[in-house]
Amino acid sequence: MHSTLTFDCYGTLIDWESGIWDALQPLLTWNQEESVHRAMALAGFAAEESRLQAAEPERPYPLVLEAVHARIAARFGLRTTSELDRAFGASVGHWPAFPDSADALRRLKRQFQLVILSNVDRAGFAESQRKLGVSFDAVYTAEDIGSYKPSDRNFEYLLEHVRADLGVGPDQILHVAQSLFHDHVPAMRHGLATVWIDRQGLSMGGEWGATAPVEQLPEVAAIYSSMAELAAALDQ
């Protein structure tokens, strides 16, 4: 019986793709660039972010975003400035929550402990949490861990700390996430059951968006298109 839901935040609860695209608009406007469309930009983000996080796991997330912004500019032959890069690096707090996230989390909070395992820093998540409508029982960020998902270190940290902090073992955890790359594949390596919030419709042939692709779709415990669907299924 699962007593604890562990969540990825960005892509699952927070609409990071809309946030990323919005935060890229000053760069595109300054360059008078109209040929770079959303799917291209998000694919560039996915490639550059995953590459940088693997190479420099200790780099704070705002500085990851600054560097990613500069690399996206270079990828598309655009001019950027340090001010534009820094603004993008500070954009996490402006990324919107999905419309169903807060209500679904409040519904789930009645039955489950709720835990965050996120690739951002503590300050960035604190800004996002104000949009999510609940207090989480534990929050573990890349800043706490010193590495970024999909590193095994992040899931080792999660399992160690939910046991120490909440008295919860792996068989009591259901990991809820959108990203196959960041979450489902490494979570399964650590024996966790996972539920896929398939916001992008990937299971039906959608686009990868801001997440790096995986070669083979893993066999998850269940697939829902939204947090609202998950809450309805678990609130029995």
**Active site residue ranges:** 8
DSSP 131: T
Interatomic CA distance for residues 32 and 124, integer angstroms: 30
Interatomic CA distance for residues 2 and 207, integer angstroms: 31
* Token pair 């959608």 in the structure block, residue: 206
Let me know: does 173 contact 199? Beta carbons within 8 Å: no
On the 0-12 / 13-18 / 19+ scale of CB atoms within 10 A, 104 is buried
The sign of the torsion formed by the CA atoms of 68, 101, 136, 111 equals negative
Counting DSSP H helices and E strands in the chain, the numbers are 10, 6
Instruction: Write out the two tokens for 164.
Output: 């120490």
Starting at the edge strand that comes first in sequence, how are the strands of the sheet with 222-224 ordered?
A: 138-141, 113-118, 4-7, 173-177, 193-197, 222-224
Let me know: does 4 contact 166? Beta carbons within 8 Å: yes
